[in-house]
Structure 1
């Protein structure tokens, strides 16, 4: 969302060259949120690995997401190793999503309210709530899986 918003910003600033720069930021933020979410959807549906290493990494992530959903570590040693390797990235991703979403969308909410774009502020707040809920759910699942791993591994 941040990258898409930054791509939209010059265009919106040019469109609002005689108007308010804050309105241009809100418009760029709207475009960034919409295109950022669209990019995630498209890549999750149609993004195909280009190399064998990418395919292997994607398989590892598939095992990790399945283990997070089930709350149970895989029984196969190779699968278990892939899940254990990915858990720190899961934790970082949940933290980055929560912090980054709060900073970006919180600033856009404040700017939208300042310029009187209440509906946009509400939209940003809804997206922020969804981002925070997903980050909290992911963090909860990661902790649950780590606890199960500790009990399985005897530590």
Structure 2
């Protein structure tokens, strides 16, 4: 019985960049509905409610898009395999020994770095604004929740960046550069 390869996320960013991007998209999708719900109330409350939806649905988007369907083309299957190799090499901290796998990991490291940077900067801006707005409208519990998510995003970004630097240094020693 053959194993069908997973489709993988269409977004190639290291953690937590893809989550922050999906969180923003989900929050923007929720915003019109929340503005409609709060048409007689405060627009700031609608923004906080949309942000809560974005934080929750961002996880679901990330999970669903990463596991739904099959690769459409052999090239997509190859890119997904290369991305999985890169993530495994990041976790292990060791570059692969095979030359083709080494090339795939080297090609994907800039995307890992961009994901860590996008996650840190984008998460700080987005969640920082949501924290301020939630405190302004008196939703202290939501502000605390946004703060917890922000700390988790920043910790994951720092961890990814550290692992990326460590892997890049090991790649340089393997490649003799």
2:88 to 66, 81, 85: 66
Aligned-partner SS, 2:64: helix
The answer for the alignment partner of 2:49 in structure 1 is 27
The answer for the alignment partner of 2:58 in structure 1 is 36
1 CA distance for matches of 2:134 and 2:72? Answer: 40
Deviation at 1:14?
Answer: 1.0
Aligned-partner SS, 1:75: coil
Whether 2:29 is the aligned partner of 1:7: answer yes
Aligned-partner SS, 1:73: coil
Higher RCO structure (Cα 8 Å, ≥6 apart): 2
Q: TM-score w.r.t. structure 1 length? A: 0.96
Deviation at 1:133?
Answer: 0.9
| Greater alpha carbon shift after TM alignment, 100-109 vs 33-42 | 33-42
The answer for the alignment partner of 1:116 in structure 2 is 138
Whether 2:111 is the aligned partner of 1:89: answer yes
CA spacing shift, 1:33–1:47, aligned 2, 3 Å = farther
Aligned length: 155
2 CA distance for matches of 1:30 and 1:48? Answer: 31
2 CA distance for matches of 1:47 and 1:130? Answer: 29
Q: Which has the higher helix share?
A: 1
- Detail structure 1 runs of 4+ shifted over 6 Å in the superposition: none
1 CA distance for matches of 2:69 and 2:122? Answer: 24
Please list every run of 5 or more consecutive structure 1 residues that lacks an aligned counterpart in the other structure: none
2 CA distance for matches of 1:23 and 1:48? Answer: 40
Deviation at 1:32?
Answer: 1.0
2 CA distance for matches of 1:3 and 1:92? Answer: 18
